[in-house]
C-alpha cells in the first residue's frame, strides 16, 4: 500500500473513532427531542419499490419476501467521501503496473485455479457447502503466503482464535506473519486491519460479519452485500488481497455466495461430495485469468493434499470389460482430464421412461437418446437410462456427446467397448459427429495414461499436426461410430 493511502485509511478510521464520541450528525430534532434520521431503507429486489419498514409482500409488484435493507443515498454519500479522499482520476498512460504483480502461493493447484497466483487488491470469493474444507484450504493458502513474508490477517466470525490455532496445528501452519482475529463487526475489524497493516486478509465467513449501519441480521442479503462492497473498496484503495468465504445455503434466509458473484473479482467454488475424499476447486468467474480452471485436492488427516494427476484417480476404480463404460478426455479449463462415463439401460415400468444422470445435464442425455434412437436405430422408448460420471466430477461440454451415445449403446447391446479406447466429439441432431477444441491435447493425455485407440470426428483428424502415438479413427456419423465400436 502506498504511504499516503495508508495515512488516509488510518485517518478515516481515527475520524470514525472521534465521531463516535461526538454528537452524531445524522439526527434531527423534533420538538426538542432528537430523532435518528432514516439511514436505511427497504427496497424490493424485484421492482425497486422503497419502504421505510420491511414488508412481506411488495405493494408495487405483489412479490412476496423481496425486501432487502439498503443504505439510503445520504448514508452512501457520507461513506463514499470518507473512504476515498485520495482517489482521483488518473490518465491511463500514467498508471503504473508493477512487474510480476501476482503472488504465487506455491500450492500449484490453487495458483492455477486463480490464473497464476494472487493479485494484490483483488477480492476473491470462495464458496462451497458447509464442511467441505474451505477454512482448511484457505488456511493452507495464507500460511504459505505468510511464510513468504506477506503479513496475513485471518478474520473468523465462526471460530475462536484457539479453534483456528487447533486447525492450524493439524496442518502445521505456524508462520509469524499470520495473525488471527475472531470478530464479527465490520467496523471493529477495519480498525484492527489498520493496526497491523496486512497484505492479505481472509474473512471466514462473509455470512457472519455485519456492519453497524444496517439493522438487519448478519447473513441477510443486505448485510452480506454491504459488507462485501466495503471490503471491495478497502481492497481497491489499499491493494490488500481479500479472500471471502461464503457458505452455499439452500435456505433463502441466509444469503449465499450467488448474490455476491457480480460484485467480486474472482469466484471459486469448492466442490465434492462427502463420500469422496476428492475436492475440486473451480473458478467460475475471474477478472484476472481464465475461467473453468480446476484444481483437484484430496482431504487427508493433515489437511488438503494436491492431486497432480487427476485422470489417474478418476480412472482408478474402473472395472474390467463391462458394458456401458467409456473413457472421455474432457477439458477442464486449460487442462485435459480423463473421466469414465457409465450408462445403464434397462426396461422401464413407467409410462414416461426415466433419464437420470449424475454429473451431466439430463436434458442433453434425453436429446442424445433421441438422436441414438432416430439415427442409430437403437430403440430406447421403453427403456430407463441412467448416466453417471465416475469420481463425483461434473462435466459440461459437448465433447462428451459421443461418449454418452457409445456408452448408452454399449449398455443397450450389452457389449463392452474395448478397454484401450477413448471416444469424444460433439453430436448434432442429424447424427453427425463434429470436432471439438483441443483435440491434440486430449489425445496426448490419453496416450500418457496408456490408451492406444481413439474415436474422434473425421474433420478433427485433418487438423492434427503433431504425431500422436495411438490409433486414431475418424467417424462422421453415429451409424459409423456404432459400426466401428461394436
Ligand atoms: P473445514 O475446513 O472446517 O470446512 P468448511 O470451512 O468448508 O466448513 O473442514 C471440514 C472437514 O474437513 C471436517 O469435517 C474435518 C475435515 N478435516 C480433515 O479431514 N483433515 C484435516 O486436516 C482438517 C483440518 C479437516
Ligand atoms: Mg469453515
Closest CA to 410 of 344, 320, 476: 344
Give alpha helix (H) positions in 197-296: 221-238
Answer yes or no: are the C-beta atoms of 71 and 39 closer than 8 Å.
yes
- Omega of the bond prior to 146 within 30 degrees of 0, cis? no
- What pLDDT, in 10s, does the model give residues 164-212? 999 999 988 888 899 999 999 999 999 999 899 999 999 998 999 999 8
Task: Return the top range by mean pLDDT from 9-18, 97-106, 279-288, 342-351.
Answer: 342-351
| Distance in angstroms (rounded) separating the CA atoms of residues 226 and 230 | 6
The alpha carbon of 374 is separated from its chain's Cα centroid by a whole number of angstroms, namely 38
Which residue matches cell numbers 478418476?
314
Reported as a pLDDT band with limits 50, 70 and 90, residue 7 is: very low
Ligand 1 atom showing the smallest separation from residue 205 Cα? 6
Beta strands across the sheet bearing 335-347: 355-358, 383-389, 335-347, 325-332, 421-423, 453-457, 471-475
Distances 37 to 26, 74, 259 between C-alpha atoms, Å? 6, 10, 29
103-107, 140-144, 318-322: the lowest-pLDDT one? 318-322
Closest CA to 455 of 431, 429, 430, 480: 480
| Distance in angstroms (rounded) separating the CA atoms of residues 194 and 201 | 12
Q: State in Å: Cα 147 to ligand 2 middle.
A: 22
CA atoms within 13 A on the CB side of 313: 16
Q: DSSP labels for 203-229?
A: EE-GGG-B-TT--SPTTSHHHHHHHHH
Closest CA to 69 of 227, 185, 187, 189: 227
The residue whose CA has the least distance to atom 18 of ligand 1 is 301
Ligand in nearest proximity to the CA of 271: 1
Residues 6+ apart with CB under 8 A from 80: none
Q: State in Å: Cα 426 to ligand 2 middle.
A: 40
Answer yes or no: are the C-beta atoms of 78 and 24 closer than 8 Å.
no
Closest CA to 389 of 283, 280, 479, 288: 280
For residue 18, pLDDT beyond 80: no
The cell for 178 is: 499470520
Reported as a pLDDT band with limits 50, 70 and 90, residue 476 is: very high
What residues sit around ligand 2, an ion, with C-beta below 5 angstroms?
135
For residue 397, pLDDT beyond 50: yes
| Distance in angstroms (rounded) separating the CA atoms of residues 379 and 385 | 12
Question: What's the mean pLDDT in 51-56?
Answer: 89
Closest CA to 199 of 40, 44, 1, 10: 1
- What pLDDT, in 10s, does the model give residues 206-236? 999 999 888 888 888 888 889 999 999 999 9
93-102, 231-240, 378-387: the lowest-pLDDT one? 93-102
Q: State in Å: Cα 262 to ligand 1 middle.
A: 28
Neighbouring CB atoms inside 10 A of 64's CB total 10
With b meaning 16 or more CB within 10 Å and e meaning fewer, what string describes 413-426? eeebbeeebbbbbb
Ligand in nearest proximity to the CA of 159: 2
- What pLDDT, in 10s, does the model give residues 433-467? 999 999 999 999 899 888 999 999 999 888 888 78
The cell for 78 is: 457520507
Distances 61 to 52, 53, 56 between C-alpha atoms, Å? 17, 17, 12
For the entire predicted model, the pTM comes to 0.75
Amino acid at each position: 500500500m502506498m504511504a499516503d493511502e495508508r495515512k488516509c485509511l488510518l485517518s478515516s478510521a481515527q475520524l470514525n473513532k472521534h465521531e463516535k464520541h461526538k454528537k452524531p450528525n445524522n439526527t434531527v430534532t423534533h420538538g426538542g427531542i432528537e430523532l435518528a434520521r432514516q439511514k436505511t431503507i427497504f427496497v424490493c429486489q424485484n421492482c425497486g419499490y422503497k419502504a421505510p419498514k420491511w414488508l412481506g409482500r411488495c405493494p408495487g409488484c405483489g412479490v412476496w419476501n423481496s425486501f432487502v435493507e439498503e443504505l439510503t443515498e445520504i448514508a452512501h454519500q457520507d461513506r463514499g467521501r470518507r473512504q476515498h479522499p485520495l482517489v482521483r482520476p488518473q490518465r491511463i498512460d500514467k498508471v503504473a503496473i508493477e512487474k510480476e504483480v501476482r503472488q504465487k502461493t506455491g500450492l500449484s493447484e490453487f495458483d492455477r485455479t486463480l490464473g497464476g497466483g494472487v493479485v494484490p487488491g483483488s477480492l476473491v470469493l470462495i464458496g462451497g457447502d458447509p464442511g467441505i474444507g474451505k477454512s482448511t484450504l484457505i488456511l493452507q493458502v495464507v500460511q504459505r503466503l505468510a511464510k513468504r513474508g506477506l503479513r496475513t490477517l485471518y478474520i473468523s466470525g465462526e471460530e475462536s482464535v484457539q479453534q483456528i490455532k487447533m486447525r492450524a496445528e493439524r496442518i502445521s501452519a505456524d508462520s509469524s506473519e499470520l495473525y488471527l482475529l475472531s470478530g464479527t463487526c465490520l467496523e471493529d475489524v477495519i480498525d484492527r486491519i489498520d493496526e497491523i497493516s496486512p497484505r492479505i486478509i481472509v474473512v471466514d465467513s462473509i455470512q457472519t460479519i455485519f456492519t453497524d449501519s444496517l439493522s438487519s441480521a448478519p447473513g441477510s442479503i443486505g448485510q452480506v452485500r454491504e459488507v462485501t462492497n466495503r471490503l471491495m473498496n478497502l481492497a481497491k484503495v489499499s491493494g490488500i488481497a481479500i479472500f471471502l468465504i461464503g457458505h452455499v445455503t439452500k435456505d433463502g434466509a441466509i444469503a449465499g455466495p450467488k448474490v455476491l458473484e457480480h460484485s467480486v473479482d474472482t469466484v471459486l467454488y469448492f466442490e465434492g461430495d462427502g463420500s469422496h475424499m476428492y475436492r475440486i476447486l473451480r473458478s467460475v468467474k475471474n477478472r484476472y485469468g481464465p475461467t473453468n480452471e480446476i484444481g483437484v485436492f484430496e482431504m487427508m488427516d493433515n489437511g488438503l493434499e494436491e492431486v497432480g494427476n487427476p485422470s489417474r484417480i478418476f480412472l482408478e476404480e474402473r472395472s474390467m470389460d463391462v458394458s456401458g463404460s467409456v473413457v472421455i478426455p474432457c477439458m477442464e479449463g486449460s487442462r485435459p482430464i480423463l473421466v469414465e462415463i457409465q450408462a445403464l439401460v434397462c426396461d422401464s415400468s413407467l409410462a414416461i421412461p426415466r433419464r437420470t444422470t449424475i454429473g451431466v445435464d439430463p436434458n442433453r442425455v434425453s436429446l442424445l437418446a433421441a438422436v441414438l434412437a432416430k439415427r442409430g436405430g437403437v430403440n430406447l422408448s421403453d427403456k430407463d437410462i441412467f448416466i453417471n460420471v465416475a469420481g463425483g466430477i461434473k462435466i459440461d461440454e459437448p465433447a462428451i456427446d459421443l461418449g454418452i451415445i457409445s456408452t448408452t449403446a454399449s449398455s443397450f447391446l450389452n457389449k463392452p467397448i474395448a478397454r484401450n479406447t477413448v471416444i469424444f466429439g460433439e453430436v448434432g441432431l442429424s447424427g453427425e459427429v463434429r470436432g471439438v477444441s483441443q483435440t491434440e491435447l486430449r489425445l496426448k493425455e490419453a496416450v500418457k495414461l496408456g490408451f492406444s485407440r481413439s474415436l474422434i470426428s473425421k474433420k478433427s483428424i485433418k487438423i492434427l499436426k503433431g504425431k500422436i502415438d495411438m490409433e486414431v479413427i475418424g467417424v462422421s456419423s453415429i451409424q459409423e461410430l456404432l459400426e466401428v465400436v461394436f
